Homo-oligomer: A and B are copies of this chain.
C-alpha cells in the first residue's frame, strides 16, 4: 500500500514479475478491494499472484515506531509476519522507509551479531553499479556499525553480482586515513584490521565514478547525498530540456532531442536499479523509492528473488561471525 502511486504501480509491477518468472509467487499484502480493483485492469491475472488482506497501512507522514504499535493490522506488519512465519521468502516495500525499517527490525530481529541494519542503495556509476550503505536506516552510527556495513554489502555484492572482490571505500573529506571526523577515523582503523578489500577513504567525487564498489557512510550522510544527487540531476535534466527549447524554438530538432533526452533519463533512472536491500535484518527486505513505478517494482522483486535464492541472510551471518573474530569489533 506504500508509495506515491500505490497500490497501482505495486500491483502492476508484481504482475509483470509473476508473468516473467513462473517459479515465484507474488503475495500482494494490502486492502483486498483496492488490490482486486487494480488486478482487474491487468487480466489475465497470472496464477502465481496471491492476495493477503491487511485493512490499514502506515502513511508517509506518520512516525513509524508509535504507529507500528497501534496499527497491528497495517500492511507492513502483516507482510513482515509472512516472512517471519516462513510463508514468504522476501519482502518488497515502497512505503514510509522508517516504518519499513522499524517494522522489519521489530518483526524479524537482527541477524546474530549484527548491531545495526543498513540500507544498501544501488547508485549508477560510469562503469556500472556501486552500492552506498547506509542511506538512512540508522542515524546514530558508531565506527563498528560502519565496518559491519562494509562486510554485509561485500557479501551481498559477491553473491548477486559478478564482482567477486568488491572494493570497499569509506566516505570522508579527504583521501588520507587521518582526514575526517572521529567516527570515520576510528572506522578507518577498524577496517584495516579486516580481511575486506578495503581501499581506504574516498571523497564525494568518487561516489559516482565507479572506482570503488561499495561506499560506506553513516545513514544521515548517505540519505542527504542520495537525495541531493537526485535533486541536482533533476535540475540538470530540466535545464537541458529548457536549453534545447530555447535554442530550437521551431522544434526542428524535436525528434533528435526526444531520443537523446529519453536515453539520458533512462540511464539515470533509479527504477532501472530496482530496490535497495536492508542488510542486517534476519530475512530479506527490499526497500523501494517512494516514487517507484511498475518497472522499479518488477526490478525490486528480481533483487528480492536473488537475495532469497543466494541465501544472502545466511551468508551475512557467517561473514559477521568471521568479522567479529578478526577485529573483535563486538
Interface residues of A (CB under 8 A from B): 61, 63, 98, 124-126, 136, 139-140, 171-174, 176, 178, 180-182, 184, 203-209, 217, 219-221, 223-240, 243-244, 247-248, 253, 256, 259-260, 263-264, 267-268
Q: Which residues of the partner chain B approach A209 to less than 8 Å between Cβ atoms?
A: 231, 235
Interface of A is mostly: helix
Residue of B nearest to A210 (CB): B235
Q: Which residues of the partner chain B approach A206 to less than 8 Å between Cβ atoms?
A: 231
Query: Min CB distance, A99 to chain B, in Å?
Result: 12
Asked if B221 contacts A204 (CB within 8 A), the reply is: no
A-B contact pairs, 14 of them (CB 8 A): A125-B235, A206-B231, A207-B232, A209-B235, A220-B221, A221-B221, A221-B224, A224-B225, A229-B229, A235-B268, A239-B264, A243-B260, A247-B259, A247-B260
Contact of A231 among B172, B205, B238, B239 (CB under 8 A): B205
Known: A139-B181, A220-B221. 9 other contacts (CB 8 A): A126-B238, A136-B173, A204-B229, A207-B228, A208-B228, A209-B235, A221-B224, A232-B232, A236-B268
**Complex CA–CA separation, A247 to B237 (angstroms):** 18
Query: Min CB distance, A202 to chain B, in Å?
Result: 10
Query: Min CB distance, A76 to chain B, in Å?
Result: 18
Number of copies: 2
Q: Which residues of the partner chain B approach A207 to less than 8 Å between Cβ atoms?
A: 228, 231-232
| The 3 A-B residue pairs with the shortest CB-CB distance in the complex, in nearest-first order | A204-B227, A204-B228, A204-B224
Contact of A217 among B171, B224, B230 (CB under 8 A): B224
Contact of A260 among B220, B235, B244 (CB under 8 A): B244
Query: Min CB distance, A49 to chain B, in Å?
Result: 34
Given A139-B173, A264-B240 in contact, is the A227-B256 Cβ separation under 8 Å? no
Asked if A225 contacts B243 (CB within 8 A), the reply is: no
Query: Min CB distance, A119 to chain B, in Å?
Result: 12
Asked if A205 contacts B230 (CB within 8 A), the reply is: yes
**Complex CA–CA separation, A172 to B220 (angstroms):** 7
Q: Which residues of the partner chain B approach A220 to less than 8 Å between Cβ atoms?
A: 172-173, 180-181, 184, 221
Query: Min CB distance, A101 to chain B, in Å?
Result: 12
Asked if A223 contacts B204 (CB within 8 A), the reply is: yes
Given A180-B139, A204-B226, A221-B220 in contact, is the A263-B235 Cβ separation under 8 Å? no
Query: Min CB distance, A185 to chain B, in Å?
Result: 10
**Complex CA–CA separation, A207 to B227 (angstroms):** 9
**Complex CA–CA separation, A294 to B230 (angstroms):** 30
Residue of B nearest to A207 (CB): B228
**Complex CA–CA separation, A239 to B217 (angstroms):** 26
Asked if A225 contacts B248 (CB within 8 A), the reply is: no
**Complex CA–CA separation, A259 to B225 (angstroms):** 31
Asked if A236 contacts B235 (CB within 8 A), the reply is: no
Given A223-B204, A224-B171 in contact, is the A256-B260 Cβ separation under 8 Å? no
**Complex CA–CA separation, A184 to B218 (angstroms):** 14
